[in-house]
């Protein structure tokens, strides 16, 4: 599932082989699995002009990244207002949004995708002492 916020990002970055911040420029949804809940597959492309490497190395040839997450499914409702079952809402990768992508051994497979805002991106870069020549644009 797409995570949110700089705290989640700062938790996952040290555990990753490669981590970077960038805006998603293209989201292609693939075929979902036939499990319950289904696993949704995506191919993501990021803006390399504004990409900031946080850990490891990202090459210009690294264009398409694979990402998968559990999709919407039916969950038990625990709140008295919603008796029975209801559909779960799952955030999905969105074109134009800013993310931290964390990868491990497979340099094409994103393990964690964390949505952040521009201010959180600046703070993450400062906390990790990453030097940069340009700012991430809104």
Per-residue pLDDT, 12: 95
Tens-place pLDDT, residues 39-85: 899 999 999 998 999 999 998 889 999 999 987 765 555 555 555 55
Share of the chain above pLDDT 90, in %: 60
Distance CA 122, CA 50 (A): 13
H helix and E strand count, the chain: 2, 9
Q: Residues 76-105: what's their mean pLDDT?
A: 75
CATH of 3-127, one of 2.40.10, 1.20.120, 1.10.10, 2.40.50: 2.40.50
Q: With cut-offs at 50, 70 and 90, classify the pLDDT of residue 136.
A: very low
Distance CA 88, CA 54 (A): 32
Q: Residues 2-26: what's their mean pLDDT?
A: 94
């Amino acid at each position: 599932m797409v995570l949110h916020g700089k705290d989640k990002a700062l938790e996952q970055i040290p555990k990753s082989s490669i981590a970077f911040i960038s805006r998603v420029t293209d989201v292609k949804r693939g075929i979902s699995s036939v499990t319950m809940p289904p696993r949704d597959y995506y191919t993501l492309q990021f803006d390399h002009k504004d990409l900031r490497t946080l850990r490891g190395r990202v090459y210009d040839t690294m264009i398409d990244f694979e990402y998968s997450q559990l999709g919407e499914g039916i969950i038990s409702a625990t709140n008295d207002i919603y008796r029975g079952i209801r559909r779960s809402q799952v955030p999905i990768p969105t074109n134009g949004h800013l993310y931290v992508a964390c990868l491990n051994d497979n340099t094409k497979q994103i393990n964690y995708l964390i949505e952040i805002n521009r201010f959180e991106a600046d703070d993450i870069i400062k906390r990790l002492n990453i030097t940069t020549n340009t700012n991430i644009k809104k």
